[in-house]
Amino acid sequence: MQTKGFRFWRAKEFVIFVVLVIICAIVTIVNPVFIHPSNLMDILLTNTVLGMMALGMLVVILTGGIDVSVGAIIATVTMIVGNFLAHVSGNLLLAFLVGAGSGAALGLMNGLLIAKLKIHAIVVTLGTMSIIYGVMFLLTGGEWVTQEHIPEGFKSFGRIVFGHVKTTSGGTTGLPVQFLFLVAAVMVTWALLRYTMFGRGVYALGGNRISAERAGFRIDRIIVLVYLFEGILIGFAGVVHTSIMRQVDPNAFNGFELQVIAAVVLGGTSILGGTGSVLGAILGVALIAVLNNGLILMRVSSYWQQIVIGLVIVAAVSTDIVQKQRAEARKTRVDVEITEGARS
């Protein structure tokens, strides 16, 4: 890794990190329960799914695309996985295969439509969001998969923790097993973006599509692969979610796509594509996680929570756009050189 080249305190991510630390400090002062290890473990557990999905969304947004169907995809994956566990097999490995496979299929569908139809991703995924939800409710009737139908083996897998942390109510907890999936997703996404030509193609495409074409990148393939990769991450996240909740609610992810997109954008990823990082996306997820948790601990009404998070998102996106516009304005100066002033 190029430790010389990377200057954290100068990077965009550093600002987000500072904001995160300040928010943590404020929440802790108002309610010290915030930094209790068990609360921190709880934050990790409840935001693992958000984190995994944000990584997929990061890769999509880096190409200049977007995916608003992620809520529908994970809802469908959890329904498929839940029904598979309830009616077919309680095998853990198979459950992950089914989850990843169904996520991959839905992601592939999005990718192919966006690449081949050449319609903007937001239009395509708005459409597929509606279709995916529609088909899922049609086939399942919107029935929950309740706790008693989930096999015991799968449930106990979901309860695995590492280490011992006392909870405020006297019990013990630890580092949840689900967190390992987030760690794995972070490492895979980071390596993919940084060390593969595919990953560099993602950045190149988001930076300048025409140049990327001229340089010889196969644009359509990159787009398809990006949504496929996102679909696979959502697939794993769906199984992880099921192992946390030990039941499946088909409506659990209504509006969740906004949280995912918000986390990525808060993490400094340009909504126009080309800039953004795994570190930033994770910091963005942490920011959303801390805001959600902190506002509860500070006993702010849940309506206010929505308003605060919304304001933070608008602020983050507009700073990004304003910075871009300023940079553009600096470059579009008319270049008429006047050197013969003294002559005529």
- Please tell me whether residue 214 adopts helix, strand or coil conformation: helix
Q: Does 336 engage in binding with another protein (CB under 8 A)?
A: yes
Site string for another protein, 241-280 (x = CB under 8 A): ---------------------------------xx-----
Among 33, 215, 314, 322, interactor with another protein by CB under 8 A: 215
Q: Does 11 engage in binding with another protein (CB under 8 A)?
A: no
Q: Does 2 engage in binding with another protein (CB under 8 A)?
A: yes
- Supply the minimum distance, in Å, between the C-beta of residue 191 and another protein: 10
DSSP state of 249: -
Q: Cα separation of 225 and 191, whole Å?
A: 15
Q: 322: part of which helix (H) or strand (E)?
A: helix 302-331
- Supply the minimum distance, in Å, between the C-beta of residue 321 and another protein: 15
Query: Both tokens of residue 17?
Result: 């990190």
DSSP state of 248: B
Among 207, 252, 271, 298, interactor with another protein by CB under 8 A: 207
- CA distance to 33, 72, 166, 214, per residue, from 133 (Å): 39, 6, 41, 39
Tell me the DSSP string of 11-71.
SHHHHHHHHHHHHHHHHHHH-GGGGSHHHHHHHHHHHHHHHHHHHHHHHHHHTT---TTHH
Query: Both tokens of residue 258?
Result: 């906004």
Among 93, 255, 303, 344, interactor with another protein by CB under 8 A: 344
Q: Which of residues 186-205 bind another protein (CB under 8 A)?
A: 194-200, 203-204
Query: Both tokens of residue 25?
Result: 């400090």
Q: 159: part of which helix (H) or strand (E)?
A: helix 152-159
CA angle 100, 276, 258 (to 5 degrees): 60
- Supply the minimum distance, in Å, between the C-beta of residue 61 and another protein: 13
- Supply the minimum distance, in Å, between the C-beta of residue 254 and another protein: 34
Q: Cα separation of 254 and 133, whole Å?
A: 10
103 contacts 233 by C-beta, under 8 angstroms: yes
The smaller minimum CB distance to another protein, of residues 87 and 326, is found at: 326
The smaller minimum CB distance to another protein, of residues 137 and 198, is found at: 198
Instruction: Kindly report the number of other CB atoms within 10 A of residue 259's CB atom.
Output: 23
- Supply the minimum distance, in Å, between the C-beta of residue 172 and another protein: 44
Total binding residues toward another protein, as defined by CB under 8 A: 38
- Supply the minimum distance, in Å, between the C-beta of residue 220 and another protein: 15
232 contacts 103 by C-beta, under 8 angstroms: yes
Q: Does 93 engage in binding with another protein (CB under 8 A)?
A: no
Q: Does 340 engage in binding with another protein (CB under 8 A)?
A: yes
- Supply the minimum distance, in Å, between the C-beta of residue 66 and another protein: 17
The smaller minimum CB distance to another protein, of residues 63 and 110, is found at: 63
The smaller minimum CB distance to another protein, of residues 169 and 339, is found at: 339
- Supply the minimum distance, in Å, between the C-beta of residue 62 and another protein: 9
Q: How many CA atoms does the CB half-sphere of 176 hold within 13 Å?
A: 25
Among 217, 227, 236, 253, interactor with another protein by CB under 8 A: 217
Phi-psi region of 274 (alpha: psi -120 to 50; beta: other; left: phi over 0): left
**Chain contacts with another protein (rule: CB under 8 A):** 1-2, 4-5, 194-200, 203-204, 206-208, 210-212, 214-217, 274-275, 327, 331, 333-341, 343-344
